[in-house]
A and B are shown apart, each in its own frame.
Chain A
Amino acid sequence: MARVVAGIGLSHVPSIGPVVDRGRQGDPAWKPLFDAYVPVREWLARLKPDVAIVVYNDHGADFLFDKYPTFALGVAERYRIADEGFGTRPLPEVRGDAELSTHLAESLVYEHEFDLTVCQELAVEHGFLVPMNLCFPHGASGWPVACIPLQVNVIQHPLPTARRCYKLGQALRKSISSYEKDLRIVILGTGGMSHQLQGKRFGFMNEAFDQMFLQKIESSPDELADITHQEIMEQAGAEAVELIMWLTMRGALSENARRIHRHYYAPMTTGMGLITFEDGQPKAM
């Protein structure tokens, strides 16, 4: 039986891509961020997940406004690297797990009433790739895990509510647990934290809000799922609504999931948060 072994909430800031591609992880301005992921990768190496389900959003690379799905699930055997307007990054194609994707699509639609858009072709960009760079660096033979992209509309209102994203995570957990193969699965919820990238309020960040969010996603996610888009945008900037995708990750974990890592770094215009949870452990007595 497949099961969720871990969940990770993390930011997917595009400027991290060129830093990785140019090997600048040790630069003083970037070192604090990359250092935080060293223990995360060691932890993941011990957990040995088979599949990463990456909850992310596209930024106008593959999903355009002619048709914009609220939730879109990749069901392919492989995913191309997208050119999002700055050239295609030198990264290996992403290996999918079409069989698991198909099970998830069927279970989510038939059993849990999440009527997803399904994608036989999907090209991934920084929203997906930066979290992969940080958690699962690729080698000569490709990426160390199979991946399933789950794209969420967080850029064109009406967006799904935070509660809906949380419920999607809960449904995802049930769908995973009804899959016959013995797979270890990690869920990545990506995006944010506080940032606003347009208007006179460009560059707005709010560390107090971000720390609150990190605390609550650990201790009281159900309460956090009541947060509105308006509250997030007012307190953390218009583009911070990406944070609702972290709730899908948290919804996919059990109540007694144990928090392992937590980090925060806000160098330029985005609060870059990191939180990890380990799941599937017996409840502490």
Chain B
Amino acid sequence: MGIALKAIPDTSIFDLRVSRRGYRLNKLCASLCSPANREAFKQDEEGYMPGFDLSEKEKHLIRKRDFAGMIDAGMNIYFMLKIGSVTGNGLYRMGAQMRGESYEQFLGTRNIQGAV
């Protein structure tokens, strides 16, 4: 961490170092803000990824839908929501995975489960 920020357990603090590390992953996600690109990604994920200069490890995280790994690799959560959505993984499914729980287990920890 840089000036004024200290690490917090089980938490990613998205600073410039993390942002630089995840730059290409976040750029791919940003591209999914257009219907045509979302369709292209869905049709041919392997054909879509080479346009973003991802490392083999980063591509692997996407293939595996490894959301905890993506965060560690510098993905910003708000950008990750876009690849979550296009792959059928909404926020709560991604969250359950990051917590190491099933979706149902995670919902069981919430105050009002119907507010989804």
Q: Does A29 contact B (CB under 8 A)?
A: yes
How far apart sit A228 and B106, CA to CA, in the bound complex (Å)? 30
Indicate if the CB atoms of B99 and A157 lie closer than 8 Å: no
Given contacts A198-B71, A200-B99, A230-B4, contact A268 B111 (CB under 8 A): yes
Given contacts A15-B116, A59-B78, A85-B86, contact A269 B95 (CB under 8 A): yes
Indicate if the CB atoms of B13 and A157 lie closer than 8 Å: yes
Indicate if the CB atoms of B14 and A156 lie closer than 8 Å: yes
Q: Does B51 contact A (CB under 8 A)?
A: no
Question: Pick the contact of B13 from A65, A84, A238, A268 — CB < 8 Å?
Answer: A238
Q: Does A197 contact B (CB under 8 A)?
A: yes
How would you classify the secondary structure of chain A's contact residues: helix, strand, loop or mixed? loop
Given contacts A64-B30, A84-B33, contact A196 B11 (CB under 8 A): yes
Indicate if the CB atoms of B98 and A199 lie closer than 8 Å: yes
Q: Does A223 contact B (CB under 8 A)?
A: no
**In the complex, which residues of chain A have a beta carbon less than 8 angstroms from the beta carbon of B81?**
14, 59-60, 85
> How many whole Å from A124's CB to the nearest CB in chain B?
13
Indicate if the CB atoms of B13 and A83 lie closer than 8 Å: no
The total of chain B residues at the interface (CB under 8 A) is 51
**In the complex, which residues of chain A have a beta carbon less than 8 angstroms from the beta carbon of B106?**
203
Question: Pick the contact of B78 from A60, A158, A199, A267 — CB < 8 Å?
Answer: A60
Indicate if the CB atoms of B26 and A60 lie closer than 8 Å: yes
Q: Does A2 contact B (CB under 8 A)?
A: no
How far apart sit A61 and B30, CA to CA, in the bound complex (Å)? 7
Indicate if the CB atoms of B8 and A238 lie closer than 8 Å: yes
Q: Does B77 contact A (CB under 8 A)?
A: yes
The total of chain A residues at the interface (CB under 8 A) is 41
**In the complex, which residues of chain A have a beta carbon less than 8 angstroms from the beta carbon of B3?**
158
> How many whole Å from B10's CB to the nearest CB in chain A?
4
Question: Pick the contact of A29 from B27, B30, B114 — CB < 8 Å?
Answer: B114
Indicate if the CB atoms of B76 and A200 lie closer than 8 Å: no
**In the complex, which residues of chain A have a beta carbon less than 8 angstroms from the beta carbon of B100?**
200
Given contacts A65-B26, A83-B35, A233-B13, contact A202 B76 (CB under 8 A): no
How far apart sit A84 and B99, CA to CA, in the bound complex (Å)? 25
Q: What is the chain B residue whose CB lies nearest that of A82?
A: B33
Q: Does B23 contact A (CB under 8 A)?
A: yes
How far apart sit A203 and B100, CA to CA, in the bound complex (Å)? 12
A window 44-99: CB within 8 A of B: 59-61, 64-65, 82-87
Given contacts A85-B81, A86-B85, A239-B77, contact A201 B11 (CB under 8 A): yes
> How many whole Å from B56's CB to the nearest CB in chain A?
22
Given contacts A27-B114, A29-B115, A59-B78, contact A155 B10 (CB under 8 A): no
Indicate if the CB atoms of A155 and B14 lie closer than 8 Å: yes
B window 61-116: CB within 8 A of A: 68, 71, 76-82, 85-86, 91-92, 95, 98-100, 106, 109-116
Q: Does A234 contact B (CB under 8 A)?
A: yes
List 18 contacting pairs A-B, 8 Å CB cutoff, sorted by A.
A14-B81, A27-B114, A29-B116, A60-B81, A87-B35, A157-B2, A157-B5, A197-B95, A199-B10, A200-B10, A201-B10, A229-B4, A230-B5, A233-B8, A238-B11, A238-B14, A267-B110, A267-B111
A residues whose Cβ falls under 8 Å from a Cβ of B: 14-15, 27-30, 59-61, 64-65, 82-87, 155-158, 196-203, 228-230, 233-234, 237-239, 266-269
